[in-house]
Structure 1
Amino acid sequence: MTHGSTYYESRGFCIYCGETNNLSDEHIVPYSLGGVHVLRKASCARCADITKKFEQRVSRDLWGDARAAFNAPTRRRKERKTHIEIQDRKNVRNTLKFPVGEYPAGFVFYKMTKAGFLLDLPDDLDLTVHWQMSVIDDSGRRERFLEKHPDNLILKFRHVPYDFGRMLAKIGYGQILTSLDPGDFRPVCLPYILGTKTNVSFVVGGSMDDQAPMDIGYSLETAGFGSLQRLILVATIRLYANTASPAYHVVVGDIEGEENVRRVMQKLELKEGTGNVVLGDHGDKHWSPVKPF
C-alpha cells in the first residue's frame, strides 16, 4: 500500500452488498485509527452503519482512553475528554482525575493464533479463547506517572475480541479492493464483516511473536497462496506499526480456475513458482498455510 493519503475510485455500488444508492466513502483503516486510504463511494447507509458500530466499539471501548491520551484523530474533537477518571485504590469512594496528556493509557491488542482456515479447522471452531491480550504504552510516561502516583495506575477497557476481529476483516477486505474488483474473487471474509457468520477467528489470525517497530503508522500488504487452479488471497495488517504492535492476517477470499487465477495474479503482481503462487516481496510469513492446495 502507498504511503500518504490515497483515494481509490468508486465501483458504483456498495462493496459489501451491491446497493447503488446513497453511497459514502469508506476508510480502509478507520479514520479514528489514522486511516488515510479511502475507497470512494463504497458503502451504502445500511452497511456503513454495520461497520461503524464495530469500529466504534474498538476505538471507544477498547482504545478510548489510549486514543485520548495520545491525541489520536477524531471527528468529535470538541467532545474529546480532557481528563481520565479512575477509582482511588486507597479510598474506593473517591474518583481521581488525571489530564489525558499525563496518563499512560495503553493500547490493548490481541495476539492471535493462525486463522482457522489456514489450520484446516471447521469454520465453527472458535479460536478466540486462545487469543492473548498485549498492552503497548509509552514506558517513559508510565514511569513518570508511577513516580507521582504509585498506587493509581489502572488500565480501563472493554474486552471486544469479536469486534476487533471484524474490524481486521474489514481492513483486509478493503486492502484487497485497492487492486481487485469485488467480482474478481469469492469474498470469504464478507459474512464475518456483515455479521451473518460469527466465528471471525476462522478468517482472522495473527502471530504470537513480538514484532519490530516500523517507520510508518500502519502497514497493509496483499499476498496469495495455492495453485493455478485455486488461489487464496490473504491480507496482512499492522496497526500502529511504529510500535511493537502484533502482526495480523485475514483470509479475504479465493479464486478458482487457471484463467481467473492468472488474471488476478497479474493485477496483484504476485509471482509464480513451480506451479504455486508465493509471497511477492512481503517478508512476513507468519500466516503461511498448514494445509496444501
Structure 2
Amino acid sequence: MAQWNGTMTLVLGGYVDLEKFRYLYFSLWVLFYFLIVSSNCVIIYVVKIHPSLHEPMYVFIAALSLNSILFSTTVYPKLMVDVLSRRQVASYSGCLFQVFIFYSFATADLVLLSTMAYDRYVSICRPLQYATVMGKTRVCVYLALAWFLPASFIAVVIILQSRQKLCSFVLEGIFCNTTLAKVHSKNPTYLVVLLSFFGIVIVVFLPMVFILCTYVRIFRVAFRSRGEVRAKAVETCLPHVMVLILFTVFIILDLMVAVVEIKLSKILRLILSLQILVYNPLLNPIIYGLKMKEIWKRIKRLGPLSNK
C-alpha cells in the first residue's frame, strides 16, 4: 500500500483532468452541498415550527431530510478538500470509516421509507388504530431502529472486510464506496461473501419488497373506497413512491460503478458517481416540498412566496 506522510493510503483515481477543472469541481461540490443542506433544512424547519405537522408522517419526512444531510456530509467536505489538494488520497482506515458512515445512512434511508410505508398503510387501511399503532413512543423507537440496525450490520461487514488482503492501491472513484471492494483480494472469505449476500437480502431486498407490497395494498384499498380516501392515498403516498424510485436508481448506479464487472470510461464512471451523490439527498426535499400540500403551503409562507 502507498505511504503518504507516514500513513497507509489509497489513491482516489476517479477524477478526469483535475488540473484543468479543479475549480469547476470545487464549485460543483460547494453548490451541491449548499443546495442539499439548505433544501433539507427548510423541510426540517417547517416541520419543527408548525405543531400541525407534528404527526408521524411529517416527522419521518423530517428524519429523511436529516438523514440526507448526514449522508452528504460524509462525502462532500472531503471532496472539497481533495480537489484543492496536491494529491487525492485517503487513509485506508479513513476510507473504511467513510464506507461505514456512507452506507449506514444510505440503508437508513430505506428503513425510513419502509417505516413511512407502514405509517401510510395504518393511516389509510386501519385508521381507527392509527393513534395506538403510531404513538409518539413507537415513532421514536422506529426512528432509533432506522439508524441503529443498518449501522450495526454495516459495522460487522466493514470489520470483516478490513481483514481481507489488499491487491490494489488505487480506487476507481472519487470517494470511498463499494469501489473499496476492488482493492481487496479477488478471493474473499466465505464468511464475507455469505454476510454480504445476507446483507443485500435483509437490508435492501426485503425492505423494498415490504414497501412495494404495502403500497399495492394501500392503493387497492384506496381505489375501492370513496373519493376522499382515494385522494388522501394519492396525495400522501405518491411522493413516497417517487422517492423509492430514486433510491432504486441509487442502488443501480452504485452497482454499475463498483460491483458489476462492466467496462466504463473514466468520465462515465465520474458522472455515475455524481448522480449517486446528488439524486436522493437533493431531490427528496424537492419532491416532498412540492408534492406534500401541507408542507408546501408553509414553505410558501417563509419568504417572498408568502405574498403570492
TM over 0.5: no
Q: Which has the higher contact order (CA 8 A, sep 6+)?
A: 2
Name the structure where helix makes up a greater proportion of residues. Answer: 2
TM-score scaled by length of structure 1: 0.31
